Chains A and B, each alone.
Chain A
Amino acid sequence: MLRFVLTRLSLVIPTFIGITLLVFVLIRLIPGDPIETMAGEHGIDPARLAQLRVDYGFDKPLLVQYGLYLSRMAHGDLGRSIATHEPVISEFRTLFPATIELSVCAILFAICLGLPAGIIAAVRRNSIFDHGVMGISLTGYSMPIFWWALLLILLFSVQLGWTPVSGRIAVQYFIEPVTGFLLIDTLIDGDFGAFRSALSHLVLPVIVLGTVPLAVIARMTRSAMLEVLGEDYIRTARAKGLPRFRVIAIHALRNALIPVVTVIGLQVGVLFTGAILTETIFSWPGVGKWLIEGINRRDYPVLQGGTLLIGAIVMIVNLLVDVAYGMINPRIRYAR
């Protein structure tokens, strides 16, 4: 097992170095002098420019600059935002819980609906329910979620007035961040009005962000279940008189879950992609919206640091999924 983990890790490290290189090169590829870009439209005194160039190490060879960048990064310094002059890492840390809260709720939503839907579709293969689930999930998979968000706003916020249009919580509530997750913080405060407000702000973004993972999970569960249900040991279990529910829920599902768990793990990247769009539409104060604002303001340190951090997070989650997969399925461990 240790050997397996180490092999995986040895594959991840070059990828991470690659990402740092990519992000480093990104800033160099942008036309114009980075210091002048930071100075903005006001221009800058030539002496100050030269001083800043030395301060930032831009007078050194590129390889040395990359080394300096890596060493700063290792000390947690990802530069400062041009717009707010705050360190990129601390901005990320403040906003990240909002994205996590949204993403976790979205993936839970997707699992809670997708898993049972996929199981029932497989058990009742070729029934109306099966065709319905498959049709809906292919539609969900093809959905431009930024449009889906607008449709839901149109229906639930504008027509029915059930949910707020944007934001994370109604303005009258001020919640001291303890965990950064509003659903938990409001409960710690014991403020149920605030909790309800946070929950109602969460509903639409969660549906929007959960749609694609929901479709993927339902499809994957169905095909994994179909495969397992055709196995001999299932027939044996049925033949020896076990109740149908037990065969499906215990014997079949346990093995069918292996590929499903992997697919759920792989949704991290999908969730980040979706979070960029969802947060922008719902003005959700998370890292996705922050990145888009960074682009629009030409705030390159934000873009650079944010990309690096998100890349690292996706990579770590993928590694964990890989290791977990090796743990539940010994065949994988020895095959490579």
Chain B
Amino acid sequence: MTAEVLESPVVVAQAGTAPHPLLELWFDFRANRGAVTGLVVIVVLILLALSADFVAPHSPVITDNTAFLKPPVWQQGGSIAYPLGTDAIGRDMLSRLIHGARLSLLIGIAVVTLSVVAGTILGLVAGFYRGVVEIAIMRLMDITLTLPSLLLAIVIVAILGPGLMNAMLAVAIVLLPHYVRITRAAVISEVSKDYVTAAKVAGAGRLRLMFKEVLPNCTAPLIVQASLGISTAILDAAALGFLGLGAQPPLPEWGTMLADAREFVLRAWWVVTLPGLAILVTVLAFNLLGDGLRDALDPKLKR
């Protein structure tokens, strides 16, 4: 009894002080069931991707001549050796899907990193050096935005030649304008604030102003856009793979797997259904995460 009485004032005192911003973010985020589901799925996918070599029962590229288009284990003719069946040349679907998770996450993260870094720098430059530089950068971004995203990516791949690396570069370029626009808009609204003027008066150089003063205050929208960007990147890269312009066989990229599976749509539902389901689940998870982050980071939506 006494202990309880003593404890309660302490709790009240803690509630009085504002929690750490990151902790507050977590509390807001946690309230969103969809976002938490998304996060859990992403964590599982990351774990699978990291441990693909140990978790996957078979190699993703080695073929088994005795098991072409074997159905999943629960269907007649399936075997426990290949839980999700095999593809047209006898490769284990489950192993290919797990290794595909590694590829797709890698694609998503690499593409968005590239795009965010380049986009942030271009946006900072456009926001700080108004005039000709700004006009040149923003016009270029307008052109990039005008062309339908997949068409632009296809054009870039046509120039560079098909392949995973080039497809990733193409998608990164397609995503670029979003980050440039967000950063520039944030920079322009931040630059006129007092703390920037104070830093300027204190003698901070341009680079310091850009990266140490202004950039940290523009990160919230960038984080949200980056999370949503990963889903776009995975989707676009898979579409390019499906069209034969992205990752090339025998890489177990989900879109490329679907392209290979197209002709078996009548005979083997699992080679068509499973890779697409993997794409859908992954993209959905990143969209849920992005939506949750946006709601948690947007002070306007807070009560």
A interface list, Cβ under 8 A from B: 11, 14-15, 18-19, 22, 26, 29-30, 138-139, 141-144, 146-148, 150-151, 153-154, 158, 269-270, 272-273, 276-277, 280, 291-292, 295-296, 300, 303, 307, 310-311, 314-315, 318
Contact = CB atoms under 8 A, between A and B. Distances in A.
Interface in B244-279: 244-245, 255, 258, 262, 265-266, 269, 272-273, 275-277, 279
Nearest to B150: A273
B199 interface: no
A11 B135 CA distance: 11
Contacts of A154: 265, 269, 272-273
Given A153-B265, A273-B151, A291-B151, A303 B243 contact: no
A97 B297 CA distance: 45
B36 to A, nearest CB: 15
A277 B155 contact: no
10 tightest CB-CB pairs across the interface, nearest first? A147-B276, A272-B148, A273-B150, A142-B283, A18-B143, A142-B284, A269-B148, A273-B148, A144-B279, A146-B242
B74 to A, nearest CB: 18
A235 B149 CA distance: 42
Interface string B140-154: 101100111111001
B154 A276 contact: yes
A277 B269 contact: no
A143 B140 contact: no
B238 interface: yes
Contacts of A280: 243
Interface of A: prevailing SS: helix
Given A18-B140, A276-B151, A303-B158, A144 B146 contact: no
A15 B142 contact: yes
Contacts of A138: 34, 284, 287-288, 291
Given A138-B288, A144-B235, A307-B147, 16 more contacts: A138-B291, A144-B238, A144-B242, A147-B272, A147-B277, A150-B276, A154-B265, A273-B150, A276-B154, A276-B243, A277-B239, A277-B242, A292-B243, A295-B154, A314-B147, A315-B146
Nearest to B273: A151
B280 interface: yes
Contacts of A18: 139-140, 142-143
A150 B272 contact: yes
27 contacts: A15-B146, A18-B140, A19-B143, A22-B143, A142-B280, A144-B255, A144-B280, A146-B238, A146-B239, A146-B276, A147-B258, A147-B275, A147-B277, A147-B280, A150-B258, A150-B272, A151-B276, A158-B266, A276-B150, A276-B151, A276-B243, A277-B239, A277-B243, A295-B158, A295-B245, A303-B158, A310-B147
Contact of B146 (A19, A29, A143, A291): A19
A29 B151 contact: no
Nearest to A148: B276
Nearest to A311: B147
A146 B280 CA distance: 11
Contacts of B120: none
B265 A272 contact: no
B147 A19 contact: yes
A142 B227 CA distance: 13
B10 interface: no
A152 to B, nearest CB: 11
A19 B140 CA distance: 9
A29 B156 CA distance: 10
A193 to B, nearest CB: 27
Nearest to A281: B262
- Most chain A CB neighbours (cut-off 10 Å) among B142, B155, B291: B155
A307 to B, nearest CB: 6
Contacts of A22: 143
Contacts of B148: 269-270, 272-273, 276, 310, 314
